[in-house]
Chains A and B, each alone.
Chain A
Amino acid sequence: MNRTGKTLLLIGATSDIGRATGLVYAMAGWDVQLAGRNLEAVHREADDIGTRSGASVSVHQLDILNTSRFEDFCDTLPKLPDTVVCVVGQLGEQRRAERELDHATEVLRTNFEGPALLLGLFAERFAKRGFGTIIGISSVAGDRGRGSNYVYGAAKAGLSAFLSGLRNRLASAGVRVLTVKPGFVRTRMTAAMKLPPLLTAEPAQVADAIFSASETKKQREVIYVRGLWWPIMLAIRSIPEPIFKRLRL
């Protein structure tokens, strides 16, 4: 297999989407840096990706809530990656987040603060270098706050806005910024939910969408993995607030 000499950094390597994404890049000839909180679990994925692809895979410890370590993390990577993908996310429990400050804080920090600050650090380094791609996994839940998941949704809305701002700022610096909104994905996180097939993607489809938006078809920078989500969210966004607030969504 032809190696490209390019390097991907994957943050959140032990999630189903993270694992699938690392594999797609590795199979395409990239070297891969995997970062995650549980080092033993990250090693398991690194062995898997390395064995399947023959790629060189390195393992790095990172806790998305431990923001004080971020600069050190960036500076101690064996190589500044060509592309960084952050797939970290936590759905949390809306009802619990309404009552428990700690849980709401964790959901907000895991989905917004951690990913935004970390990708911001890479943006600085990529801009200085003059090239690079930053890919954040946001969510359709961030397109409009709904009663059933607005804590998670607000964090994802924050991340979408942050990525949009980065994209705007770095457009002329040679740095691409992509926002990926997977919609429903069949993962361990959603294993117990009944999901509509047309709106639900497999982790491998999310991974393919990320790779193709980043490397092959480069027109779009905000990506709905299942195309049907785009008109749906457009419709949901355009419902006037006096009506929207009365809907059970």
Chain B
Amino acid sequence: MSLQGWGRYRNYDSEVLECLLPQSVGAMVPSRAGLIARGNGRSYGDAAVGELATLICGGLSRMKAFDAGNGILTVEGGTLLSDILRAFIPRGYFPPVVPGTKFVTVGGMIASDVHGKNHHRVGGFGDHVTQFKLVVASGELVTCSRTENPELFYATIGGMGLTGVIVEASFEMKPIETGWILQKTTVAQDLAGALKVLQATDELTYSVAWIDCLAGGKSMGRSLVFTGEHATREQVSARMPQAEFFPAAREPKLGLPFDFPAWMLNGVSVSAFNEMYFRAGARKAGSPSLVHWNPYFFPLDGIHRWNRLYGRRGFLQHQCVVPEGNALAVLGEMLERFVRSGKGSFLAVLKKLGRGGGLISFPTSGYTLALDLPATTDVFPLLEEIDKIVVQAGGRLYLAKDARQSRHTFEAGYPQLSAFRELRRVTGADRRFRSHLSTRLGI
């Protein structure tokens, strides 16, 4: 069968297998080679497509237990984050870390060690996982935690499914008083300003910047920095006396039923959007306002199948992280290239990251810049140039977003790669678990 990543830039051929019971995974794994687990298919490139076969894990969707005493939730690996939010927000609990979409599985969140707007404070999702059960190459079910099989534990966090299949996981939920976020918008007129605001808001729980990567000259890097805190009941009552403390998720009303024509997203239309968005944000800046948890954390989930926006050719997402030291110069150079190319998108995000969790987790101390680009032929050489800047700066690219980086870029960015490869070899995972991504990058 033909499978794609969320970016839809390429079709990959892979046999599709479905598992409906956690206990059946152990029997499916040992008879296969070139297999990878797939959750909800939200990684952008080729990470969740097996070289030969792909194990669809959406059927492993049952929750197992919740301990209100310590907030630890245990679920099967294919459980959707959206289900967790729906069940637990009304009871006053929120996941420790959420990525930019709620349509991901817990297994996928561990395998990508996803980060959220609070990474600078609390680390990635993997930092909050207390334990998981992994079906390894032999088919054996192995319990992993910081004390039990720790090597496998740290290799699996951010390990892109290349150590085994996560069939069950436990992690800490955090108590919240309401489902509202008290958001504040700060305007930064250029890149230096944006980095300064992100630095200054380091103490706040959530912070992220939308960056205009088409604005050049003196406005290059102009941004809206959004910070947020979980609102208390008092704050909600004072501002919106009629509001429910725990509002439910509204299902998407907007959808893209077809591919957008490719010409609709171009330099002019995106520039116009960016200008409007920046001005609208600037008008609201200053005074804090209450935002519903769903649009705050998952703005794009409001548009069903938004990945069709880039048309049939699909799109690439480029997300790098560069060390804090010379971030201003490095990010400035990158932005200049994007501006000059006119290829920048309206979905560009700048964020400060804290230290990393797993052996080959993406997050590491520094600043991360992420943007979408249409998968046109002239974008590839541009990204090659950008990658050179990343490598020179000692940075790396996010594997869950990647569909195209070179082996050289990858190897330069992940210093613990040899230890990861060795663990794969020793456990037999190197032959058993292979995705198109791992083959392309020689992991």
- A residues at B contact (CB < 8 Å): 1, 44-45, 47-48, 51-54, 188
Known contacts A1-B90, A1-B91, A54-B91; decide if A47 and B65 are in contact (CB<8 Å). Answer: yes
The answer to whether A52 touches B87 (Cβ under 8 A) is yes
Nearest first, the 10 closest Cβ-Cβ pairs linking A and B are A51-B63, A48-B62, A52-B87, A48-B63, A51-B66, A47-B64, A44-B62, A52-B63, A51-B65, A51-B64
CA of A1 to CA of B83, assembled, Å: 17
A48 partner residues in chain B, CB cutoff 8 A: 62-64
B386 is an interface residue with CB less than 8 A from chain A: no
- On whether the beta carbons of A52 and B83 are closer than 8 Å, the reply is yes
In the complex, which residues of chain B have a beta carbon less than 8 angstroms from the beta carbon of A1? 90-91
| Chain A residue contacts of B25, Cβ below 8 A | none
> Contacts of A44 on B, CB cut-off 8 Å?
62
Contact B87 A51 (CB under 8 A): yes
Interface digits, B68-90 against A, CB 8 Å rule (1 contact, 0 not)? 00000111000000010001001
17 contacts between A and B (CB under 8 A): A1-B90, A1-B91, A44-B62, A47-B62, A47-B64, A47-B65, A48-B62, A48-B64, A51-B63, A51-B65, A51-B73, A51-B75, A51-B87, A52-B63, A52-B87, A53-B87, A188-B20
| List of A residues within 8 angstroms of B20 by Cβ | 188
* Cβ–Cβ contact B62 & A45, under 8 A: yes
Can you add 10 more A-B contacts, CB < 8 Å, to A47-B64, A54-B91?
A: A44-B62, A47-B62, A47-B65, A48-B64, A51-B64, A51-B66, A51-B73, A52-B83, A52-B87, A54-B66
- Which B residues lie at the A interface, using CB under 8 A? 20, 62-66, 73-75, 83, 87, 90-91
Closest-by-CB residue of A relative to B68 is A54
Which A residues touch B83, using CB under 8 A? 52
Q: Which residue of A lies closest to B73 (CB)?
A: A51
Shortest distance between the CB of A154 and any CB in chain B (Å)? 31
CB-defined contacts of A188 to chain B, threshold 8 Å: 20
Q: Measured between alpha carbons, how far is A188 from B58 in the docked complex, in Å?
A: 13
- A45 and B64 CA atoms in complex are apart in Å by 9
Tell me, in angstroms, the Cα distance from A48 to B62 when the chains sit together.
5
Which residues of A have CB within 8 Å of B87?
Answer: 51-53
Most buried by A among B63, B65, B83, B91: B63
Docked CA distance A53–B63 (Å): 10
Shortest CB–CB separation between residue A21 and chain B, in angstroms?
16
Of A1, A44, A45, A51, the most chain B CB neighbours within 10 A belong to A51
A45 and B20 CA atoms in complex are apart in Å by 13
- In the complex, chain A residues whose CB is within 8 Å of the CB of B75: 51
Contacts of A51 in B (CB 8 A): 63-66, 73-75, 87
- Which of chain B's residues has its CB closest to A52's CB? B87
A40 nearest CB neighbor, chain B only: B23
Please give me the residue from chain B that is nearest to A19 by CB atom: B62
Least distance between B329 CB and chain A CB atoms (Å): 49
Q: Give chain B residues whose Cβ lies under 8 Å from the Cβ of A52.
A: 63, 83, 87
Closest to B84 in A: A52
Min distance, Cβ B203 to any Cβ of chain A, angstroms: 34
Complex CA gap A44/B91 in Å reads 22
Residues of A within 8 Å of B90, CB to CB, are 1
Which A residues are CB-close (under 8 A) to B65? 47, 51
Q: How far is the CA of A54 from the CA of B64 in the complex (A)?
A: 12
- Residues of A close to B66: CB separation below 8 A: 51, 54
**B87, chain A: closest CB distance, angstroms:** 4
- Are A47 and B91 in contact, with the CB atoms below 8 A? no
Write out the residue numbers on chain B whose beta carbons fall within 8 Å of the beta carbon of A45: 62
Residue ID in chain B nearest A27 by CB atoms: B87
Q: How far is the CA of A188 from the CA of B61 in the complex (A)?
A: 14
Least distance between B286 CB and chain A CB atoms (Å): 38
Which residue in chain B gives the minimum CB-CB distance to A191?
B18
Q: In whole angstroms, how far apart are the Cα atoms of A45 and B91 in the complex?
A: 20
A54 to B75, CA, bound (A): 14
| B64: chain A residues within 8 A (beta carbon) | 47-48, 51
Note all chain A residues with C-beta closer than 8 A to B74.
51
Q: CA A84 – CA B66 in complex, angstroms?
A: 27
Shortest beta-carbon distance from B328 to chain A in Å: 47
Report the minimum CB–CB distance from B60 to chain A (whole Å): 10
Q: In the complex, which residues of chain B have a beta carbon less than 8 angstroms from the beta carbon of A47?
A: 62-65
Give the distance to chain A from B12, nearest Cβ to Cβ, in Å: 23
C-alpha gap A52/B65 in the complex (Å): 9
Closest to B62 in A: A48
Q: How far is the CB of B288 from chain A (nearest CB, A)?
A: 29
What is the bound-complex CA distance between A51 and B73, given in angstroms?
Answer: 8
Closest Cβ neighbor of B83 among chain A residues? A52
Tell me, in angstroms, the Cα distance from A58 to B73 when the chains sit together: 20
A52 to B89, CA, bound (A): 11
Name the residue on B nearest A49 (C-beta). Answer: B63
Complex Cα gap A45–B63 (Å): 9
Report A-chain residues with C-beta under 8 Å of the C-beta of B63. Answer: 47-48, 51-52
For the complex, give the distance between the alpha carbons of A48 and B75 in Å: 8
Q: Smallest CB-CB separation from B75: which chain A residue?
A: A51
Nearest Cβ in chain A — how far from B405, in angstroms? 37
**In whole angstroms, what is the CA distance A47 to B76 when docked?**
11
Residue on A nearest B65 in the bound complex, by CB: A51
The complex places the Cα of A235 from the Cα of B90 at a distance, in Å, of 45
Q: How far is the CB of A16 from chain B (nearest CB, A)?
A: 11
Tell me the minimal C-beta distance from B130 to chain A in angstroms.
Answer: 16
Taking the closest CB of chain A, its distance from the CB of B232, in whole angstroms, is 21
Closest CB of chain B to A116's CB: distance in Å?
A: 30
Give the complex CA separation of A54 and B89 in angstroms. Answer: 13
- Nearest residue (CB) in A for B86 is A52
Give Cα A54–Cα B73 distance, bound, in whole angstroms. Answer: 12
Which residue of B has the minimal Cβ distance to A23? B87
CA distance A141 to B74 in the complex (A): 41
B217 shortest CB reach to chain A, Å: 51
Docked CA distance A54–B91 (Å): 9
In the assembly, what is the distance between CA of A70 and CA of B414, in Å?
Answer: 63
Q: Once the chains are docked, how many angstroms separate the CA of A217 from the CA of B364?
A: 54
Nearest opposing residue in chain B for A44, CB measure:
B62
Shortest distance in angstroms between B312's beta carbon and chain A's nearest beta carbon?
23
In the bound assembly, the distance between CA atoms of A54 and B87 in angstroms comes to: 9
The residue on A at minimum CB distance from B64 is A47
Closest residue on chain A to residue B59 by CB atoms? A188
Distance A188 CA – B19 CA, assembled complex (angstroms): 12
